[in-house]
Structures are given as structure tokens and as C-alpha cells.
Amino acid sequence: MIARAWMVPAALVTSVMAGQADAQDPIRTLLITGENNHNWRYTSRYHKDTLEATGRFTVDITDAPAETLAAPGKAASYQLFVIDFNGNKRWGDAAESGFLKAVEGGAGVVIIHAANNAFGWPRPKDASGDQPWVEYEKMVGLLWREGTGHGSFHNFDVKVVDKEHPITRGLPDLAKHPDELYHKLVNMHNSPYHLLAEAYSNTESGGSGKSEPMALTLAYGKGRIFHTPLGHVWEGSDDQKASIADPQFKVLLSRGAEWAATGEVTLGTSWEEHGAHNTLSPDEKAAGWKLLFDGAAAQFRGFKKDKLPDGWRAANGMLMLVPGLGAGDIVTVDQYQDFEFACNWKVAPGGNSGIMYRCTEDKTYPWETGPEMQILDNAGHQDGKKKQTSAGALYDLLPCQYDVARPAGEWNHAMIRVKGTRIEHWLNGFKVVECDLASDEYKKAHAASKWVKMPDFATRAKGFIALQDHGDEVFFRDIKVRELK
């Protein structure tokens, strides 16, 4: 049975046959990204989580659409394309025709924010540059082209103008949505479009003084297109991550995506996540993963203690630290040498914690022997200003490579891979730290750090995996480990 996102509002229950929704297979979705002047590493993985949290979609991501879509039959295997891509370089005949054919044949398309800038802006001055992709421009309808702009990032209301369309039926206006407000988008090829929602672009924030389209639909052959210019996140800005984290945006995006793929909307009008947690799929079991937390019991104990301290508690399927009880750090029951450890974590505003590994109990604290993958609310903590100490970093040694950490209150996917002297930190789908403890790069970083005075740091071949009590509220779930042979 497929986990469903939002319950259908009571008033609409009669319009949905009992059991029908549960019988639906998830919509096979390809999210297209890998190039964008925006923070695509952040947004693409976040949109995937948004869609999958509804239980209605299963989302593959390509960071190399020109290659992926050129594979014979690939485009035709998807019911929906979500485009979080803004590049000018054309994908090539095979990829482009595969994609267009799939859409003409009925696959849905979702256009998000700067995807309406792609393939034609700026216009090439001569035939030597990449020529605009006219079919893509027709599909998108309203494009960022000559004369388009936006004012400052600010909060604004998005007004539903069509209350009968499946996407917006019963949907309240978006109140004080934080975003960039595109104005004067250009309909290059006079594509007929249908307006669902608009926002007033005020001149005080640098806007056009007019109402601008914020959600629209179009047709391309048998394909349905849902287009929203919302969803701006710039690299290096934690504040702007609020645009796509806004539950109102998530509802609009998910409903638009479901409609584009199926022509109907069964998802509700308020945001609620579904899905199983603290479980292993058959594939994960076959790959050797073991759960360290089943939602109730944790395979952890206090550092140098024989049981889990009182301040670490299981609640609502999460292992959480209650601050102020002096709980202290906890360690796995077993020790690990070469392994992969994965978990999802979130912190309260300003929160700080960490995952340490290959820790031993012959020193006063786990961090005296074990390297740490930082857990942090980057925006709300001093450490977030430095890449060496921000979320995902090899704490105080090597920086987190990409701006992919999520704001306080949002779940982050963490994975640590350790084999011999090689370590990797993965955060929200990207390898953000890669290092060989035997390398000159590491030795240099080590020599410049406070760890240089700790001769036992990161020298153990085997040890416990520890979760840190830094005095702040922190939550974990889906904690699992597998040994590497």
C-alpha cells in the first residue's frame, strides 16, 4: 500500500472512491537539474523530498539531462518531468526529441522558477552560440527574456484566481509567501496559457506595480504543463531557503505536479507528510544495513555508561535529546571499523550536535578520539558562518563543500562512509567532505587545528559511533549502519 500524503478534506471524500487512491502506483518522476544560476543542489533534493513525502511520487534525479535523456526509451519511462534547470547549452537531438515525444504523448511537466529562463537567454548574437530551443519556449509559455526582472526577496500574498481548476480547487491564497517575484515574463511564441494564481508586484520592493502570474497551466500535445515562477533559492543564502520550505509552496507544487502527470488532484490542500520511517527496505536489508533505532528502542548507550541516559528519549518515531538534563553523548552498542552510517537529523533554531565515529572510551570525551560530522542550524549558530564548522563539515578541519544544509526544523539526510583512512561525509545527496587521513591535505588541516594537541584524535582503526549532546535540542530518525567488507 502506498503511503498517502494529506487526507482528502471531508467535503471532498464523496468524490474519491474509497480505496482508489491507495491503489494508485506512485507517479514515475524525473527531476531534471544539474545546472542553474540558483542553488540547484539544494532545491532539487528538497523538491524530491517534498514530492516523495506525499506518497504520490517516486522521484529520480538527473544532474546530467543531456546524457540521461539521450538513452533510448529513457524519457518514455517517466510520467512526469520536474524541471529545476536553467542552462543555455542544448541537450542534443536525441535527448530533446525523446523528451518532447514523451510530453507530446501525455507526460506531464512542472516548470519551477528559473527553469523559465533556460534555453534562450541571453539570445545569442550570431549563429555560433547555442540557439534558443523554441519547442521548450512554447511549452513553458511565459519566459524570463528581455525586459523581465524581479524586485527584492520579500513576503507577498499569492492570490488564487481560478478556484475551479483541479490544482487550485479549495486551495487558500498563499499568505506572506517568502520569495522572489518575477515580473514582466515574456510570452515569446504566444503560447495559450491558463492562469491559476497571481501576486501583486509592489513598486516599494522594486516590482512592476502590476499583478504578475504565479501559477499557470499550458498544453503541449497531450502533455499537461504546470508552471510556477516561485521557488527562488540563491547559493549562500539561508534565508531564501524558506521559499521552497513554505508548506503553502509545497502544497501548490505537489498538486500541480499530480495534475500535470494525471489530470486529476487527489492530494489535500494543507501540508502533511506521510511515509514510513525507521524501517529498512528489502534492498537495504540485502545490502547489509541494520537499524540502530526502530522508533522505540535505540542501540545506543551513554558514553562510558551501560544504558541510555534519561535525556535521550524516543518520541514520535524520533530519538531526541532533551536539553538541560546532562544526558551526555551516546555511543553505539557495537564498534565499527569500515562502515557506512546514515541517519536523518533536524535541530531546533540555533541547534548544535554532531556524529562522531571511531570513538574509544579511553579518554574523557568521544571527540578526543573520534572525528565529527557537524550537525548545526547554520543560520542560527556562529559556527554556521565558517565552512569548516558548518553542517556536514569534518568539524573544525575540512569544510562542507556545498550549500545544501537545511534550516532548523527541517530533516537533513546524513551519511558517513569510512574505509581504512578514507572518509566521506554526505549531506542531502551530495558528498560534502572527502578526505584521506593519511594525505598531506589532512595533515596540513590537522596541524592548523586545535586537534594538533590531541595525539589520539582520528587514530583509532575501530570504535563507536557517537551522537553528541551539545546542550541543544536535536532529533534523529532512520538511523542505520552497515559494515563494509
What is the contact surface with Zn ion in residues (CB under 5 A)? 180, 232
Choice between 227 and 477, CB closer to Zn ion:
227
* 346 beta partners: 475
* 339 beta partners: 418, 483
Answer whether 395's CB lies under 8 Å from 389's CB.
yes
What element of type H or E holds 155?
strand 154-160
Answer whether 21's CB lies under 8 Å from 13's CB.
no
CA distance 114 to 231: 8
Q: How far is the CB of 114 from Zn ion (least distance, A)?
A: 6
Q: How many helices (H) and strands (E) does the chain have?
A: 9, 26
Q: How far is the CB of 22 from Zn ion (least distance, A)?
A: 38
Q: How far is the CB of 173 from Zn ion (least distance, A)?
A: 22
Tell which phi-psi region holds residue 392, choosing left (phi > 0), alpha (psi between -120 and 50) or beta: left
Choice between 74 and 232, CB closer to Zn ion:
232
With CA atoms as reference, report the closest residue to 468 among 386, 363, 359.
359
With CA atoms as reference, report the closest residue to 228 among 218, 219, 215, 217.
215
Answer whether 476's CB lies under 8 Å from 320's CB.
yes
Choice between 232 and 406, CB closer to Zn ion:
232
Q: How far is the CB of 48 from Zn ion (least distance, A)?
A: 19
Choice between 96 and 180, CB closer to Zn ion:
180
Q: How far is the CB of 12 from Zn ion (least distance, A)?
A: 34
CA distance 111 to 137: 11
Choice between 137 and 180, CB closer to Zn ion:
180
Choice between 232 and 346, CB closer to Zn ion:
232
Q: How far is the CB of 484 from Zn ion (least distance, A)?
A: 41
Using CB atoms, what's the residue nearest to Zn ion?
Answer: 232
Q: How far is the CB of 84 from Zn ion (least distance, A)?
A: 12
- What sign does the CA torsion over 445, 447, 450, 451 have? positive
- Burial environment of residue 238 by CB neighbours within 10 A (0 to 12, 13 to 18, 19 or more): middle
Q: How far is the CB of 117 from Zn ion (least distance, A)?
A: 9
Choice between 180 and 198, CB closer to Zn ion:
180
SS3 471: coil
Choice between 117 and 412, CB closer to Zn ion:
117
